[in-house]
A and B are shown apart, each in its own frame.
Chain A
């Protein structure tokens, strides 16, 4: 007799992901769906998809959802949550969306302590448009717009969104995680669950920054990209728990 102990969560739709092979978006999608299943909030959860590779994220969940203009997911989410405080609203954004064009929306939504959850996928590059330099690109990293590597004199330094938001009182949960090993995937799931709990308990803004690989635009195979993420990206953006007002309960 056999029992399925690991099978796809119910909140995930049967549609195939449109992501490249080895892209970590899929892992994070699955974690969010598992958390929604465990919390039993599928019927009242709304996803706001960003502009970027994950623009069709709402297609991959069995949830209500919409897409916001580039960078404005948190502005749209604010309106939704204020109009319908009984809903659980979360945004799913990449670094080109949240940390570049949407920096103002992100910082002010966090500072107002909006009861929202944000899953921030940081892969240090603009994925959908073809691998241009993002604000989170590492110094020396080659992209299509920095073919000799990012030079801090010309292109500035990588932006650390979690460190910036950690100074704000409105933030109830803030953690940076990676999904490069099965152990880290488990801790990422715990972090995502707490970010949702921060919203459900009405404590404030919850954000989880997930360091993830973009093998296609980094020019590596999926396994190399994971090693690169561990050796380079995790040094610049160390995984850390910044704010936790949720506690263990």
Chain B
């Protein structure tokens, strides 16, 4: 079975670094971006780059609605 692939986009300016998305992620592909601060002074969450299964748990738990989850759709032939 093909593994579902996806990725997340995080609005780092909106993020308050609470870590609820990192705690909720079942594949542990989110982390704090310890190298940067946003203008509020928090370390925002960051997607590690691979391994997202587009389950949406981070979106569900994010209290600041700064996550958008994308799912890769295989190209369909003939459409």
Contacts and interface: CB of A to CB of B under 8 A. Distances in A.
Interface stretch (A25-33, A119-127, A170-178, A192-200): A25-33
Interface string B1-35: 00000110000001011111001100000000000
Given A1-B72, A3-B71, A4-B68, A226 B63 contact: no
Contacts of B20: 22, 222-223, 226
B24 A26 contact: no
B42 interface: yes
Nearest to B56: A6
A5 B54 contact: yes
Given A16-B64, A27-B61, A182-B60, A2 B70 contact: yes
B24 A182 contact: yes
Nearest to A28: B63
Contacts of A2: 6-7, 70-73
A19 B64 CA distance: 9
Contacts of B77: none
Interface string A59-99: 00000000000000000000000000000000000000000
Contacts of A24: 63
Given A17-B64, A182-B24, A185-B61, A5 B71 contact: yes
A166 B40 CA distance: 43
Categorize the interface residue count of chain B.
Answer: 20 to 34
Categorize the interface residue count of chain A.
Answer: 20 to 34
A104 to B, nearest CB: 31
A8 interface: yes
A26 B65 contact: yes
Interface in B39-79: 42, 54-57, 59-65, 67-75
Contacts of A25: 63
A23 interface: yes
A43 B14 CA distance: 27
B65 A22 contact: no
A21 B68 contact: no
Interface string A12-56: 100011011111111101100000000000000000000000000
Given A1-B75, A4-B70, 6 more contacts: A1-B73, A24-B63, A25-B63, A182-B61, A185-B60, A226-B23
Interface of B: 6-7, 14, 16-20, 23-24, 42, 54-57, 59-65, 67-75
